[in-house]
Amino acid sequence: MIYRWALLILAILLAGCSAAASQPQASDLRGAVFDPPRELTDFSLMSTSGEPFTLSEHRGQVILLYFGYRSCPDFCPTTFAELRRVYLELGEPANRVKIVFITIDPERDDLESLALYTHAFHEDFIGLRAEGEALEQVKGQFGIVAERRQLADSALSYVIDHTASVFLIGPDGRLQVQYLYGTGYQDIVHDVRLILQASS
């Protein structure tokens, strides 16, 4: 009986060590790390693939998530160019890494235009769209600030000043890292590789 209890305790300890080893150390990652990673409430938004994108259905994958809008004149195209470099450097691992874009301007961004926008950077990139409270709830989980600013003499009519960070959701579905605007693509590649290796 004592022998069985000893084996059980050893198995629990080994499982704990294995779980700890499945996550890289915060100090090894180059972005702004959430330590511990932040639990996220599941969400499901319509996507440019024609099917809803549900967060919980992508466990086991790394998600690089960015909030922006299609007519953004500066931050969004620059960030997407960097995300394209990340994706190509990683070898376009569609089964392990998802690049996801959530529009904060559903008034002007329908799914068709989002598909054209995201696919201009890479055909694997996914655009998501929601309105009203559904969008606000997702933005709230990531602390996204988005404020419309009217333009007097512009065909755009308005721009949106917004949080321009890339968020990394780990294979366990938790928010793990935030990359501030201007983070080099090499740093994101470094972190994604570490996380993928740890979860293999």
Q: Domains of the chain: which residue ranges?
A: 2-199
pLDDT digits (tens, 9 = 90+) for 49-68: 999 999 999 999 999 999 99
Instruction: Please provide the size of the chain in residues.
Output: 200
pLDDT at 142 over 60: yes
With tokens 């990683």, the residue in question is 90
Integer distance in angstroms from the first to the last C-alpha of the chain? 36
Which DSSP category does 184 fall into?
-
Q: Which helix (H) or strand (E) holds 192?
A: helix 185-199
Question: CA-CA distance, 161 to 147, in Å (whole number)?
Answer: 5
CATH ID of 2-199, from 3.40.50.2300, 3.40.50.300, 3.40.30.10, 3.30.70.3270: 3.40.30.10
Percent of the chain with pLDDT over 90: 81
Q: Which helix (H) or strand (E) holds 115?
A: helix 111-121
Characterize the bridge pairing of strands 146-150 and 158-162. Answer: antiparallel
pLDDT digits (tens, 9 = 90+) for 156-180: 789 999 999 999 999 999 999 999 9
pLDDT digits (tens, 9 = 90+) for 81-108: 999 999 999 999 999 999 999 999 999 9
Residue type for 15, please?
Answer: A
